[in-house]
Amino acid sequence: MKIHEYQAREILQDFDVPIPAGKVAETPSQAREVAEQLGGTVWAVKAQVHAGGRGKGGGVKLARNLEQVEELAKTMIGMRLVTKQTGSDGALVSKVLIQQGVNIVSEYYVGFLIDRANQSPVLLASSEGGMEIEKVAADFPEKIVKEYIDSSVGLTKEQAKDVVVKLNMDEKVREKAEKVLLGLWKAFKEKDCSLLEINPLIVTKEGEVFPLDAKMTFDDNALYRHPELEVLIDPSQEDETELKAHEAGLPYIQLDGNIACLVNGAGLAMATMDTIKLFGGEPANFLDIGGGASVEKVTAAFEIMLSKPEVKVILVNIFGGIMKCDTIAEGIVEACKVVSLTVPLVVRMKGTHEDLGKQILKESGLPIITAETLGEAALKAVSLAKEQ
């Protein structure tokens, strides 16, 4: 789960991480009022969307008077901001953060995330702040400091000190920077983040160390212990189809392709998507119907898949273990009574009650294309998608 920068700033404050003065606004006149309250002569007007790269996409602009604040807020609020991370549709801006201008002396990158290979959290830091970290990693890998964190101990003061020295920060601000790193770590750990990225972390002319941006992503599997975070969800930033699927209790991820997949088991779903790609096709989604799918769930899954005009073929791949093939077959037949099947349907099922399942599909009279192996099913789906 992702949250907005203005929300992340509030969480960071709870962990004693200092942030530059600022407040969120929902209308241009509110933006002006906020700027007036903040005082000063320069303000940053920042579009609040769940995506990075806002600066380059025109979502972060500086205003030098109150009229400009209002003007910028007016152009941003209501627009769909397109950045490198949003896709061509962009993301709706419904709020802007008005932040008091700061005198930046230097910019750094700081990110806490989970390193799967090392099975631990890791602190990534770089003196090349404000740039895309992926670019720094590709062009100057030596400029990235990597500090693995023992999660039973946490980020130690020594480690924080070491990182700050390696970043070559001015001696005068080192202590402050260490405190910021320790505060960020605490927030990352206690809020069960999968990512906490500060780009840039800045040092100001006045000798302050501030996160000037904050991207916070939480581990969805830990949300049950954070009711305070669940209320921060902004549905306008979520994919509509994914929201619908989650409401139906289906683990679903929207993708760009045209072959919709209905599979039982996350591993089999991944293998199905891989096989589609192997034959030159593109999956439209990840969908794990699970072990105990009911007819209602299968129907909901079909409705969701068929609601996307991009979908040219549906591929059902079932391994009958706990899930019995006849249950799924009944589900498919029932679903096709409720929703009209507008695209070809390829079904491959193996395992428990396989023969019964196949018989149900055959007797239904539905124009279902069957396949014996995953390879055959994927190949058929890919060629059908190309014909449409």
Catalytic residues: 109, 197
Neighbouring CB atoms inside 10 A of 8's CB total 25
Q: With binding defined as CB under 5 A, does residue 48 bind Mn ion?
A: no
Site residues for Mn ion, window 161-200 (CB under 5 A)?
Answer: 199
Residue nearest to Mn ion (CB): 213
60, 196, 328, 374: which one binds ligand GDP (CB under 6 A): 60
Rounded Cα distance between 101 and 65, Å, is 11
Question: Using an 8 Å Cβ cutoff, are 13 and 20 in contact?
Answer: no
The beta-carbon contacts of 235-239 under 8 Å, at least 24 apart in sequence, are 236/92, 236/94, 237/2, 237/4, 237/49, 237/50, 237/91, 237/92
- Peptide bond connecting 200 to the previous residue in cis, omega within 30 degrees of 0: yes
Region of residue 365 (left: phi > 0; alpha: psi -120 to 50; beta: else): left
Closer to ligand GDP by Cβ: residue 211 or 283: 211
Q: With binding defined as CB under 6 A, does residue 212 bind ligand GDP?
A: yes
Binding residues for ligand GDP, how many (CB under 6 A)?
17
Beta-bridge partner residues of 209: 203
Least separation in angstroms between residue 176's CB and ligand GDP is 18
Least separation in angstroms between residue 67's CB and ligand GDP is 18
Residue nearest to ligand GDP (CB): 55
Q: Is 143 annotated as a binding residue?
A: no
Least separation in angstroms between residue 35's CB and ligand GDP is 12
Question: Using an 8 Å Cβ cutoff, are 39 and 55 in contact?
Answer: no
Piece of the chain touching ligand GDP by CB under 6 A; list 54-62, 138-146, 346-354, 357-365 = 54-62
Least separation in angstroms between residue 44's CB and ligand GDP is 3
10, 23, 38, 55: which one binds ligand GDP (CB under 6 A): 55
Q: Is 199 annotated as a binding residue?
A: yes
102, 124, 269, 311: which one binds ligand GDP (CB under 6 A): 102
Q: At what angle do helices 325-338 and 354-364 cross, to 10 degrees?
A: 20
Q: With binding defined as CB under 5 A, does residue 213 bind Mn ion?
A: yes
30, 199, 237, 299: which one binds ligand GDP (CB under 6 A): 199
Least separation in angstroms between residue 109's CB and Mn ion is 9
Rounded Cα distance between 122 and 349, Å, is 42
DSSP string, 247-309: HTT--EEE-SSSEEEEESSHHHHHHHHHHHHHTT--BSEEEB--TT--HHHHHHHHHHHHT-T
State both tokens at 307: 């609601």
Piece of the chain touching Mn ion by CB under 5 A; list 147-155, 207-215, 328-336, 345-353 = 207-215
Q: At what angle do helices 266-278 and 374-387 cross, to 10 degrees?
A: 50
Residues that bind ligand GDP (CB under 6 A): 44, 46, 52-55, 60, 62, 99, 101-102, 104, 130, 199-200, 212-213
User: Applying CB under 5 A, which residues contact Mn ion?
Assistant: 199, 213
Which residues are annotated as part of the binding site?
46, 53-55, 102, 107, 199, 213, 264, 321-323
Q: Which residue ranges are tagged as binding site for Mg(2+)?
A: 199, 213
